[in-house]
Amino acid sequence: MTLAEILTSLFPDGHEVGVADGLVAGHGPFDGKSLAVIGIDGNTPLGIEGACTLAGHVLAVVRAGGDTPILVVVDSDSQRMSRRDELLGLNEYLAHLAKALLLADASGHPTVGLVYGHTAAGAFIATALATRVLAALPGAHPSVMDLPSVARVTKLPLDKLEAMAKTTSVFAPGLDNMVKAGAVHAVLDPETPLGPQIAALIAGIAPDDVRDTLGRDRAGRPQAHAIAARVMREAHGG
């Protein structure tokens, strides 16, 4: 689905969501109230200006009070890998955006990510993975790092990594692997209205982060839940 199709499905009665320089921002009527929308469209790389702009939109929702949910739509490249952005502290801008989303969630604004295209690396982590619940549409292609990049970092042969990726979802790119690892909670049905599906995700948000539980149950990240539980027990002297 394109962004325009997503917005039409979400807001059949119209909306006030726009796109400027690849950045998405606005709102529309949703479930009897309003849904704030931010994000990245058109496989746009996320640089310092974009991260700061999106964080500003999130913080504006928080300042307004209430419990307006925030939908983060994502079709991005990776972070903008320019010397300028790196020298100006791109990692801090991305962290600021992620923390703004965490603040929104802690302030009573449910955050839901929706990946409908490509997304990778820092841009993926600071947007979609920073939301409380992450959904995707068929055809989306999220990855923390593509396999050629993993090969350069680990010095392992690419063909060996490709073979490992068939049975190990933790580092492997692609939607199916992200679902198995628990990073993506649900794949939505593009043939039915998206509004009720997003509303159901918001209504079903658990008090705690359940991604490690999903990864265990889906056999894509079998050890994370047990290790996290052990760390918490030992941290509390159990």
The tokens for 209 are 């982060």
pTM over 0.85: yes
User: For the chain, what is the largest distance between any 2 Cα atoms, rounded to a whole number of angstroms?
Assistant: 54
Q: Across residues 125-145, what is the average pLDDT?
A: 93
Compute CA distances 93 → 14, 50, 98, 129, whole Å.
32, 9, 9, 15
Question: Going by CATH, does the domain composed of 3-137+188-205 fall within 3.90.226.10?
Answer: yes
Phi, psi (degrees; rounded to nearest 5) at 113: -95, 150
Compute CA distances 143 → 1, 183, 218, whole Å.
19, 10, 18
Neighbours of 148 (CB within 10 A): 11
Residue range 199-223, pLDDT digits in tens: 999 999 988 888 889 989 998 888 8
User: Which of these, 217, 201, 212, 215, lies nearest to 71 by C-alpha position?
Assistant: 201
* Integer Cα distance of 55 and 225 in angstroms: 30
Q: What is the pLDDT of residue 144?
A: 83
Residue range 30-72, pLDDT digits in tens: 988 999 999 999 999 999 999 999 999 999 999 999 999 999 9
Q: Across residues 87-91, what is the average pLDDT?
A: 91
Domain ranges, ordered by start, for the chain: 3-137+188-205
* Integer Cα distance of 55 and 173 in angstroms: 26
User: Which of these, 77, 78, 76, 79, lies nearest to 88 by C-alpha position?
Assistant: 79
Q: Across residues 108-127, what is the average pLDDT?
A: 94
